[in-house]
Amino acid sequence: MLELRNIVKIYETANLRQVALNDVSVAFRDSEFVAVLGQSGSGKTTMLNVVGGLDRFQSGDLVIDGISTKDYKARDWDAYRNNRIGFVFQSYNLIPHQTILSNVELALTLSGVSRGERRKRAMEALERVGLAEHVGKKPSQLSGGQMQRVAIARALINDPEILLADEPTGALDSKTSVQVMDLLRDVAQDRLVIMVTHNPELAHQYATRIVELADGEVIADSRPFVPGTEEVREAKPVRRTSMGFLTALSLSFNNLMTKKGRTLMTSFAGSIGIIGIAAILALANGTNAYIAQTEEETLGAYPLTIQKSGMDMSSALSAQVEAASSEKPSDGKVGVSKLRTLADDIRDTKTNDLASLKAFLDGNGGKVNSYVNAIEYDYDVTPQIFQADTSKDNIQVSPDQAM
């Protein structure tokens, strides 16, 4: 049982305040075929959206099975919309690139029903609306009346307690309109159908009750319902909305595949970025490696040599330069020449302890191995090598005797 109590719905835009529903109170039976009539702009669509939980309102209450929805959370509204309400629109709202079977099946994916069961129920729903032999067609291959029947099958597949139809015959000629009305009357046998129409003839012919709206107010009701005065059917248990992970995954994949062009462009644009970054990294890496190699080769040509005795050549040289530039004697002064002799240099000669240096290097002292390419040792030993053939004389090969 569904009841609107003093619903006020106002649309407020920047410079306009439009009262779409002005204190509307109306209750519906569990199964009847209600036609909502009224001029364009009288609030019919708004009322349907409020009943379907698609629209909020400023004041009043929507009472479902005797329970107020004032404390409904988003999740409760989702469950209400998905499990208890079926929608049919004037413009069918079918997904153009999917077959009508998939279109109908899709409505079940939110109910956590298995794939096989979905297909079976979709087939049954399409049979019910007389479209069993068209299940493989796309919406564009159907007539308007057939598309609206697909939309009704889709709305019915969840077995909703309430079917809401907003001008379902608005885009149909009178012959196909009759087919759709027949179907809706049949559907209304065991559930509440609320249909908005601006065709009073069809309404009077098919509906069991006619509610008329004008300027957001109910101005006529052919068969008013006062809750509590008639027998009420027991409420169905509340079903929750859920979707399996695989279903969600395959739906997203299908969705991507239906927009192949866009998916491709996005992937392409994305890969340009990734390839670009990869190319820059590769280039930087290569340049670094090249610089390191060049450094190594350059330094390799000038090995660091440590000899047994070392002489401080720089101090010897600077001393000589100093001596050359020493002051010339002038009047009344004695010139001073700094003298440095070879004897000084020899005195300054230092001796390196190469044996312990070698032991230090061999033991990877100071982690030397990670800083050098090779360590070479020279010994002050000259091998005396002679030719083995002594028939002509003894010929010494090393050290070379030619000079």
Residues in touch with ligand ADP (CB under 6 A): 11, 13, 18, 20, 38, 40-46
Q: Is 90 in the site for Mg ion (CB under 5 A)?
A: no
Q: Which residues of 203-217 are buried (b: 16+ CB within 10 A; e: fewer)?
A: beebbebbbbbeebe
Where in 33-52 is the site for Mg ion (CB under 5 A)?
Answer: 45
Which CB, 45 or 247, lies closer to Mg ion?
45
How many other C-beta atoms can be found within 10 angstroms of the C-beta atom of residue 55?
Answer: 16
Choice between 45 and 103, CB closer to Mg ion: 45
Helix or strand run (H / E) with residue 194: strand 192-196
Which partner in ligand ADP, Mg ion, none is near 42 (CB below 5 to 8 A by kind)? Answer: ligand ADP
Nearer to ligand ADP, 214 or 319 (CB): 214
Q: Burial letters for 97-124: b for 16+ Cβ neighbours within 10 Å, e otherwise?
A: ebbbbbbbbbbbbbbebeeeebbebbbe
| Beta pairing class for 162-166 and 85-89 | parallel
**Rounded least distance, CB 95 to ligand ADP, Å:** 24
Name which of 115 and 198 has its Cβ closer to ligand ADP.
198
CA dihedral (22, 26, 31, 34) in degrees, to 10, reads: -50
Give the DSSP letter of residue 134. G
Q: What is the dihedral of CA 163, 166, 168, 173, to 10 degrees?
A: 160
User: Contacts with Mg ion in 144-173 (CB under 5 A)?
Assistant: none
Query: Which option in ligand ADP, Mg ion, none does residue 38 bind, with CB closer than 5 to 8 A by kind?
Result: ligand ADP
Peptide bond into 399 cis (omega under 30): yes
DSSP-derived 3-state class of residue 26: strand
Q: In angstroms, what is the minimal distance from the CB of 166 to Mg ion?
A: 6
Minimum separation from the CB atom of position 11 to ligand ADP (A): 3
Chain position whose Cβ is nearest to Mg ion: 45
Residue 13 binds which one of ligand ADP, Mg ion, none, with CB within 5 to 8 A depending on kind?
ligand ADP
Beta carbon nearer to ligand ADP, 59 or 364:
59
Of 159 and 217, nearer to ligand ADP (C-beta) is 217
Burial of 295 (C-beta count, 10 Å sphere; 0-12/13-18/19+): exposed
Q: Cβ 159 to ligand ADP, closest distance in Å?
A: 27
Residue 86, SS3 per DSSP: strand
Residue 46 contact partner, candidates ligand ADP, Mg ion, none, CB within 5 to 8 A by sort of partner: ligand ADP
Is residue 177 near Mg ion by the rule CB under 5 A?
Answer: no
